[in-house]
Structure 1
Amino acid sequence: MRHAKHELNGKVVAITGGARGIGFAVAQRCAEAGMRVAIGDVEADLVMDAAARLGPSARGYVLDVRDKASFQSYLDSAEAELGPLDALVNNAGVLRMGPLAATDDASVDLQLDVNIKGVITGSRLALERFLTRGDGHLVNMASSAGMVATANGAAYSATKHAVLGFTRALRGELRGSGVRTTVVMPGVIRTDMTTDFKNAVGVRVVEPAMVAERIVEALRSGALEVCVPREIAVQGRLFACLPPRASDFLKRITRVDEVMH
């Protein structure tokens, strides 16, 4: 079934964690597509510099996704300067690697607060706007770790499984409302969060620009789920359909469980 493409030129997109890495790549690609871009990031200097690099169609705002008032102010300010919000990309995320037994409460809480609570907060605030208008698009950043859990990233994997489940459930709630959802599952992306990752068999490291391109494609097409690179979808289904012991064995021989060491 073919769906109409959505025009992006002149539309307004808010991108959390947009000052660097995947977020900035998404901001660049959205600006190239003619969108007006509101970058939100917790680091004030970085976010202002990032917005300046994008040009006059972009604005930068200090945002802490853990703080509902901060998120509300971010979206309010973006709409006041750029116009009604058409899309929100919940990209902000943090990763803390290591065995759970050696992980402190602060690291667990930070990942939960940013990676899943921040996504839920942003989605709720955006939906207040989208549902009134009968239009809008939520893009939530999960991870291949939300499909195939990996050792030494238990808390992180938990948050990304949560984002995937949350977005799938939300899709059912929004059916017929005119509001679209997309959940994105990147594999290993070359960013400052993944510099210590080890190689695994069949895991291709890709650039943030590839994720950005696929997200812009999804904004146009309304794609429900996006895996980057595409083979992540096949790998995820393979691990999911195997019995647990067989899945664990496959992780060992492909060294998937060593990626986050």
Structure 2
Amino acid sequence: MSKVIAITGSARGIGLATARALKAKGATVVIGDIDEAAAKEAGASLGAPAFPVDVTSRESFEAFLAEAEKAAGPIDVLINNAGIMPIGAVTDESDADARRCFDINVHGVMLGTKLALGLMLPRGKGHIINIASLAGVMYVPGLALYNASKAAVIAFTEATRLEVQDRGVHVSAVLPTFTNTELVAGTQSPKGMDNCEPEDIAAAVVELIGRPRPQAVVPKKLGRQVKIGALLPDRVRQATSRRYGLDKIFLDYDPEARKAYDARIRN
């Protein structure tokens, strides 16, 4: 895979796993993260250039893309992966958390997409991949902010895809289920279900780059279930949610186990 691929939020978790998988396929990967020290460490481990990027800042994002192209050449793929997940009762979520969640998860994706389009459309080629979530189409108590932000990412990605589809640039969304990263610290997995691993999401991204399409659900089987579930009556959907414990996962969690993550995303 002889492509130059820049990834935000790639110092850890899904972003780092994706960078590692793409590097193994022969791509030139550029690491970007707001945590500059972690970005440099990740870059060193992969032998990849790494730069700081605050996705909420146009100046920072522009500088990241410019440095990426200076170091590796024209960007073929931008993966907007940076995101945070505050959880808990909606009445307990602060205004500051709400603003920061949307600044990073939504406006960060919008900004990255617009800046990448500015580079790619004149070239007539490129691919933008926005990491959304199944939380954008499946709504869970205790996850209202994140649900809303990822629903916005899915809608924005699809509308943008339709707008530029005849101009040589692909725009795609990836919708992972619960994945074993810091985002789910202190929570339980749904009853009878296993969380995905970051490498599962990375594999889906690699496949999506090789064969572009509008959307990829991870794991694939959940895509069919979501479509069927949307046709069911509300009482059936809620009963299913209770059966798997989805009505409590993000309300009855261990705050101590999330303490480090919560402190980092609010810093």
Asked if TM exceeds 0.5, the reply is: yes
Structure 2 unmatched ranges of 5 or more:
252-267
Give 1:49's aligned residue: 41
Please report how far the alpha carbon of residue 249 of structure 1 lies from its aligned counterpart in structure 2 after TM superposition. Answer: 2.5
Give 2:25's aligned residue: 33
1:14 aligns with 2:29: no
RMSD: 1.2
1:248 aligns with 2:232: no
Q: Distance in 1 between matches of 2:192 and 2:213?
A: 25
Q: Check whether the contact 1:214–1:226 (CA below 8 A) recurs between aligned residues.
A: yes
Give 1:234's aligned residue: 224
Give 1:126's aligned residue: 116
Letter in 2 for 1:93: G
Equivalent residues in 2 for 1:1-261, closer than 5 Å: 8-9=1-2, 11-55=3-47, 58-201=48-191, 203-261=193-251
* CA shift digits 1:44-76 (9 cap, x unpaired): 110000000001xx1111111011110000001
* CA shift digits 1:112-134 (9 cap, x unpaired): 00001000000000000110011
* CA shift digits 1:137-166 (9 cap, x unpaired): 010011110110111010110000111111
Give 2:259's aligned residue: none
Please report how far the alpha carbon of residue 201 of structure 1 lies from its aligned counterpart in structure 2 after TM superposition. Answer: 3.6
SS state of the match for residue 183, structure 2?
coil
Structure 1 unmatched ranges of 5 or more:
1-7
Q: Please, what TM-score do these two structures have when normalized by structure 1? A: 0.93
Please report how far the alpha carbon of residue 194 of structure 1 lies from its aligned counterpart in structure 2 after TM superposition. Answer: 1.0
Q: Please, what TM-score do these two structures have when normalized by structure 2? A: 0.91
Aligned length: 251
Please report how far the alpha carbon of residue 202 of structure 1 lies from its aligned counterpart in structure 2 after TM superposition. Answer: 5.3
Letter in 1 for 2:99: D
Q: Distance in 2 between matches of 1:99 and 1:239?
A: 24
Q: Could you list the runs of 4 or more consecutive aligned residues of structure 1 that deviate by over 4 angstroms after TM superposition?
A: none
Q: Check whether the contact 1:187–1:203 (CA below 8 A) recurs between aligned residues.
A: no
